[in-house]
Structure 1
């Protein structure tokens, strides 16, 4: 009996047991992600097809939820504390839809530049609380607002196909980067910010984004761009997507939090799921506008 117990204990601590345990945990987590992601993505695409008040309302709610998550991260990181003001800024921006696109772009840059300053420095002065307030109120809401603007581009269903290409490129980038990174990743991309990310996964993400672009363009009834015009957008996604993810990873590391929240089963929070889209959408909006 003692020998069996000792043998079982030895097996639990063996490298093979740990490897099997890790694989089971990864498969379980991946299954949970897929079970939530497939119906959620289907609903998201349907809402994008509907457009108008349905899609815009969902984007506004996602923006509000993400502002709340970012404010939590900021507070845990030693910044923040102005949630109400951040929401007011976001609401003012959102309902001022008649603002010129260049003004919106200026607001987005105004959110990104201070972000770089306080995410990569250790100063926690009072001024940084105000910077965090502006970041909370501008960064995510502008990203979601630009998704709405992409949907409104072109005529008839052209905006839907542009939105679909945006989704497919981001999802393709994310999926290919994950699996190629896990299979072949050896060289760390940003070990101090996100240790699991690798250069191999980063380059694999380019292939995934291009694949997403090809699929969207291939199934579209009236895609407003040629394939030659669309493929450079995949390059944009492959750069801004990982940057958005690294931005959120850095903020979570400063806050000492694994996820931005637990709103989405298997995915963490809204900021965890839409970090790439938030940073990518403004750039793709102006890229698409150039050709329309």
Structure 2
């Protein structure tokens, strides 16, 4: 069975489950995203350890959970301060050679993926249930469309390497093809989903540039970490797809970009979600 066929056979039911939980929204969706977040954290910690950059074994999970729950729990800021005080105190008395490294790597691991996943949850909570669903699906379809078009565009037309030291197979031709995929994903979400929203295609066009740019950057960041560790995939959980970090690397930067733009056009009165 070809690698592409494996990816398709897994992606269809996985996407169906994701869309179903996205439609349910509320804590069905949030719980699912937090579940994904813990797997990404575990994979990141393992990859960083393989590269010699060790993390604390517990605080990345603690920091990550705090970030993903921040808007939804009482005394969130005070809880975060308590986590910071406890973490720094423990690391201060850590006598291992990796103690200084653990400070920085634990913070990066605990913050990076959870912030992106939190932004996806916040996008889902924008406006009515229908609006949040459309915005979330549009974000995911742009990411998936960009990834698919970049893959086939790179294979068909790729000549100029995008970042040969990080990901030798990526090309500028594939990168720019990704913008077409983002456009296709956005149009599909806005016109194929039979739900009304104030977001028009014209107003949403900047999202194509944002997702088409920051999605690949998120992909490259993961590739850079994996190359340092000497691994191909973050895990072997899914046939043809690797791990959760492999599947959601583009989302981790694309979702914050989308959230910032949506909030800005809301605050400036261009939409009334």
Q: Would you call these one fold, judging by a TM-score over 0.5? A: yes
- Which of residues 232, 237, 246 in structure 1 aligns to 2:211? 237
Listed as ranges, the matches of 1:1-292 within 5 Å are: 28-98=2-72, 126-220=99-193, 221-292=195-266
Kindly indicate whether the alpha-carbon contact (under 8 Å) linking 2:25 and 2:129 is maintained by their aligned counterparts in 1: no
Decide which structure has the larger Cα Rg and report it.
1
CA contact (8 A) 1:151 1:160 kept: yes
CA RMSD across the alignment: 1.6
Provide the secondary structure at the position in 1 that maps to 2:245.
helix
Deviation at 1:98, TM superposition (A): 4.7
Distance in 2 (CA, whole Å) between partners of 1:30 and 1:98 is 39
TM-score of the superposed pair, with normalisation by structure 2 = 0.85
Name which of structure 1's ranges 126-135 and 222-231 shifts more when overlaid on structure 2.
126-135
Contact 1:169 1:209 in 2 (8 A): yes
| Deviation of the 1:286 alpha carbon | 1.4
Contact 1:68–1:83 (CA under 8 A) maintained in structure 2:
no
Q: What is the distance in 1 between the residues matched to 2:159 and 2:15?
A: 31
Report how far residue 214 of structure 1 moved.
Answer: 1.0
Stretches of structure 1 lacking an aligned partner (at least 5 in a row): 1-26, 104-123
Distance 2:34 2:24 in 1: 16
Q: CA deviation at 1:156?
A: 3.4
How many corresponding residue pairs?
Answer: 243
Aligned partners of 2:21, 2:211: CA distance in 1, in Å?
22
Unaligned runs of 5+ residues in structure 2 are 78-96, 267-273
Q: Distance between the aligned counterparts of 1:40 and 1:183, measured in 2?
A: 27
Give the 3-state SS of the residue equivalent to 2:159 in structure 1: coil
Matched-pair contact (CA < 8 Å) for 1:177–1:203: yes
DSSP 3-state at the match of 2:2: helix
Q: Deviations over 1:20-79 (max 9, x none)?
A: xxxxxxx71000100000110011011101101111110000000000000001101111
Q: For residues 102-161 of structure 1, give each alpha carbon's deviation from its aligned partner in whole angstroms, at most 9, with x where no partner exists.
A: x9xxxxxxxxxxxxxxxxxxxx97533311100111111111111110000012310000
- How many Å separate the matches in 1 of 2:217 and 2:9? 27
Deviations 1:151-203 (A, max 9, x none): 00012310000001001100110000000101110100000000000000001
Tell me how far apart the structure 2 counterparts of residues 285 and 135 of structure 1 sit (CA, whole Å). 21
- Cα distance between partner residues in 1 of 2:154 and 2:68: 37
CA contact (8 A) 2:54 2:98 kept: no
Q: SS where residue 241 of structure 2 aligns?
A: coil
Task: State the alpha-carbon separation in 2 of the partners of residues 156 and 66 from structure 1.
Answer: 27
Determine helix, strand or coil for the equivalent of 2:169: strand
